[in-house]
Homo-oligomer: A and B are copies of this chain.
C-alpha cells in the first residue's frame, strides 16, 4: 500500500507529567501529517476555493496506543488511504520511532465531504478521485 510519511517533532509542551506524549496529541500529529499529504496530492488549503474537496468534517477518529513515546524526540508519522467512498474517505496512520520499524500507535480517521453552506454530505469531485487513484488499493 502506497503511503506518505513525515517526520514530526515531539516537544516539551507535548509531554504529560509521566514524561510521555499526551494521548490527545497523537490526533494533532496525525492531522498535521494529513495536511502535508493533501499538499503532496496537489490540493490546497482548507479555505482554498479551488479545492472544494478540502471542505470536509471529521466523522470518526480511532487510536490504539501500543508503546509510550518518552521524552522530546522526532517521530515518523505515516498516512495512507484505507477506503474511498462516495462522500467519505478513511485514512490509516502509524506513528513510529525514527530508527525502528515498530508502531508506537496506529489510528484511523474518516472524513466526510460536506457542502460548505448546508454542512450536508456531498460526493467527492472527480478531480479528487483522479488524484487519489494512485493511492487507492
Q: Interface of A with B (CB < 8 Å)?
A: 9, 11-13, 15-19, 22-25, 27-28, 31-32, 35, 45-47, 57-65, 68, 71-72, 119
Contact = CB atoms under 8 A, between A and B. Distances in A.
Main SS of the interface on chain A? mixed
A72 B32 CA distance: 10
A17 B24 contact: no
Instruction: Please tell me how many copies of the chain the complex holds.
Output: 4
A72 B11 contact: no
A23 B27 contact: yes
Contact of A35 (B12, B25, B27): B12
User: Which residue, of A9, A13, A57, A65, has the highest number of chain B Cβ atoms within 10 A?
Assistant: A13
User: Closest 6 CB pairs between A and B?
Assistant: A24-B27, A23-B58, A17-B19, A62-B62, A11-B32, A15-B17
B58 A65 contact: yes
A62 B71 CA distance: 25
A62 B60 contact: yes
A98 to B, nearest CB: 15
